[in-house]
């Protein structure tokens, strides 16, 4: 992290999100914010990374996190493109907090097409028995 404005924004983020379990600082330039509750099919994490010239260039928005594996591809793409559009309006300014807040304010719209339950649900016992059956068939 090279810029004084990045250092200032980092201090502000630490102050704002102190005690907020949804916010995680992964490094001096990578931040996660979790929206929704664990176990909810509509919850997700947004990762914002600052390139070396941030805030004079767009941050990197990443939705391809393991936590987000349940999200429909279109939902992830929509969240990312919407955030990049918001960020383009904020070039030159500290924007990480504003972007996370924008997601909070627009959460219901962003996840409208995300199903309430996983598209494929299979219990552990169903998976186990299918493996047992497959092994049995192979033995015959």
Residue range 4-29, pLDDT digits in tens: 999 999 999 999 999 999 999 999 99
Q: What is the mean pLDDT of residues 52-62?
A: 97
For residue 94, CA distances in Å to 14, 29, 46, 91 come to: 14, 12, 17, 8
**Closest residue by Cα to residue 59 from 45, 47, 75:** 47
Residue range 114-134, pLDDT digits in tens: 988 876 654 555 555 555 555
Phi, psi angle pair for 29, to nearest 5° = -135, 10
Does the pLDDT at position 50 exceed 80? yes
39 is written with which tokens? Answer: 């176990």
What are the residue ranges spanned by the domains of the chain?
Answer: 4-139
Give the chain's mean pLDDT. 89
Give percent of the chain with pLDDT exceeding 90.
76
Query: Whole-prediction pTM value?
Result: 0.81
Please calculate the CA angle 100-86-74 and round it to the nearest 5 degrees: 80
**Closest residue by Cα to residue 99 from 39, 38, 27, 23:** 23
Name the CATH superfamily housing domain 4-139: Ubiquitin Conjugating Enzyme (3.10.110.10)
Q: How far apart are CA 83 and CA 59, in angstroms?
A: 10
Please calculate the CA angle 76-79-80 and round it to the nearest 5 degrees: 85
């Amino acid at each position: 992290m090279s810029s004084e404005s990045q250092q200032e924004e980092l201090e502000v983020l630490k102050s704002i999100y102190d005690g907020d379990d949804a916010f995680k600082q992964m490094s001096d330039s990578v931040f996660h914010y979790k929206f929704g509750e664990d176990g909810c099919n509509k919850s997700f994490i947004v990762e914002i990374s600052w390139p070396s010239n941030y805030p004079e260039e767009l941050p990197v928005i990443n939705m391809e996190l393991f936590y987000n594996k349940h999200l429909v591809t279109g939902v992830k793409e929509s969240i990312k493109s919407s955030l990049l559009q918001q960020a383009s309006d904020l070039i030159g300014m500290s924007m990480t907090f504003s972007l996370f807040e924008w997601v909070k304010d627009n959460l219901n719209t962003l996840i409208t097409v995300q199903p309430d339950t996983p598209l494929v649900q299979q219990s552990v016992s169903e998976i186990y028995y299918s493996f047992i059956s497959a092994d049995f068939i192979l033995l015959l």
